[in-house]
């Protein structure tokens, strides 16, 4: 069974960089699939942020592309999200998920990141 777990600071100051890591168990990232990040502001809908392949190939949502970096560490079986210059609008539950041809079939439990001074 594939299991994903997000980790990282729950509070980030405005203008700083949000950094999260997703640890994957039950499946080797090196074996394939894309791996993605999705966020959900409190009380609102889902927003895809970007996805990465085990070889480091990435796709980002165009409107976030200038601020987003997703990277992968196949040795640790982890992938990470960095979102720069955050504002209150970036406050959300951040999910990592397995991206199967752009479908998300396994999800982490999500982690709330609040942007506040």
Partner 1 sequence: DIQMTQSPSSLSASVGDRVTITCRASQGISNYLAWYQQKPGKVPKLLIYATSTLESGVPSRFSGSGSGTDFTLTISSLQPEDVATYYCQRYSSAPSIAFGQGTRLEIK
Indicate if the alpha-carbon torsion angle 34, 104, 50, 92 is positive or negative.
Answer: negative
Residues whose CB is less than 8 angstroms from the CB of residue 66 and which lie 6 or more positions away in sequence, other chains included? none
89 near partner 1 (CB under 8 A): no
Tell the smallest beta-carbon distance from residue 92 to partner 1 (Å).
Answer: 13
At residue 113, the 3 state secondary structure works out as: strand
Question: Could you say which residues in the range 40-59 bind partner 1, by CB under 8 A?
Answer: 45-48, 50-51, 59
Does 107 engage in binding with partner 1 (CB under 8 A)?
A: yes
Q: Kindly determine how many residues on this chain lie close enough to bind partner 1 according to the rule CB under 8 A.
A: 24
The verdict on 37 binding partner 1 (CB under 8 A) reads: no
Point out which residues bind partner 1 (CB under 8 A). 34, 38, 45-48, 50-51, 59-62, 65, 95, 99, 101-105, 107-110
């Amino acid at each position: 069974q594939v299991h994903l777990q997000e980790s990282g600071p729950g509070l980030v100051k405005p203008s700083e960089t949000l950094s999260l890591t997703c640890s994957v168990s039950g499946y080797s990232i090196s074996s394939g699939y894309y791996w993605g990040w999705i966020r959900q502001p409190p009380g609102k809908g889902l927003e895809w942020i970007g996805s990465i392949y085990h070889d480091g190939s990435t796709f980002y949502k165009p409107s976030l592309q200038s601020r987003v970096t997703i990277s992968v560490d196949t040795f640790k079986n982890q992938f990470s999200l960095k979102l720069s210059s955050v504002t209150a609008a970036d406050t959300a539950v951040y999910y990592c998920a397995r991206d199967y041809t752009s479908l998300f079939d396994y999800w982490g439990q999500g982690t709330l990141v609040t942007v506040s001074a």
